[in-house]
């Protein structure tokens, strides 16, 4: 089972992914938590480049770098884990490409990016995606508290219009792919969000 978490930077998705992993482990489940970009030596090196505010990367190069890291992660980590009946939790996956590079950077149309994603992942699709929805102002407030005035990484330093387009893209994904994507109000208390996710996952496992 592949479960992914999505949302803009500061939405709380990483916190929820970690909480879910810990609870599943306590129940005795075999579980793996990974992040994107990352999870392999190559992908972690690509991550450091992509998030470096001192590096200029054009929007197509950015798309290809994220996708190269994902392809490596899928082949080297995700597919072997899934074949071993491991519950895989991924902090970001293909929806991030649709939202950030498609919506934010406007690098290509959604249908082109979806076809490209299928090639990159060899058709791997999450069973469930949890999208934590918050507005940009709230995300900025949280990041400032977390980082203590730090300007943030290369993605976080991009302007408000960029993030508004990302949010709009995420909302569109959640609406058009509602069988897979569960939209959750990211302003809810952390524990309440976790309970919603846990209840939904219990239902998914029963159906599965």
CATH number of 2-207: 3.40.50.300
d(CA 206, CA 194): 18
**Has residue 149 got a pLDDT over 60?**
no
Question: Which pLDDT tens digit goes with each residue over 107-136?
Answer: 999 999 999 999 999 999 999 999 999 998
d(CA 186, CA 17): 13
Kindly state the tokens that stand for 43. 């992908």
Instruction: Assign 180 to helix, strand or coil.
Output: coil
Nearest to 177 by CA among 6, 20, 36, 51: 6
For the chain, the domains span 2-207
Q: Which helix (H) or strand (E) holds 133?
A: strand 128-133
d(CA 201, CA 128): 8
Instruction: Supply the pLDDT for residue 88.
Output: 98
State pTM to two decimals: 0.92
């Amino acid at each position: 089972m592949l479960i992914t978490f999505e949302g803009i930077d500061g939405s709380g998705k990483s916190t929820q992914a970690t909480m879910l992993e810990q609870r599943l482990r306590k129940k005795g489940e075999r579980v793996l938590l990974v992040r994107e970009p990352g999870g392999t030596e190559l992908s972690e090196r690509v991550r450091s480049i992509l998030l470096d505010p001192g590096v200029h990367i054009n929007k197509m190069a950015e798309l290809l770098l994220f996708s190269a890291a994902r392809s490596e992660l899928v082949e080297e980590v995700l597919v072997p884990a899934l074949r071993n009946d491991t519950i895989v939790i991924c902090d970001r996956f293909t929806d991030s490409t649709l939202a950030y590079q498609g919506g934010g950077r406007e690098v290509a149309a959604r249908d082109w990016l979806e076809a490209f994603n299928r090639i990159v992942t060899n058709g791997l699709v999450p069973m469930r995606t949890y999208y934590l929805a918050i507005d940009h102002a709230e995300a900025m407030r949280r990041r400032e508290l977390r980082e203590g005035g730090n300007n943030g990484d290369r993605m976080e330093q991009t302007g408000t219009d960029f993030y508004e387009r990302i949010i709009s893209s995420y909302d569109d994904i959640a609406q058009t792919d509602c069988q897979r994507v569960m939209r959750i109000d990211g302003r809810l208390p952390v524990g309440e969000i976790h309970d919603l996710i846990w209840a939904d996952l219990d239902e998914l496992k029963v159906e599965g």
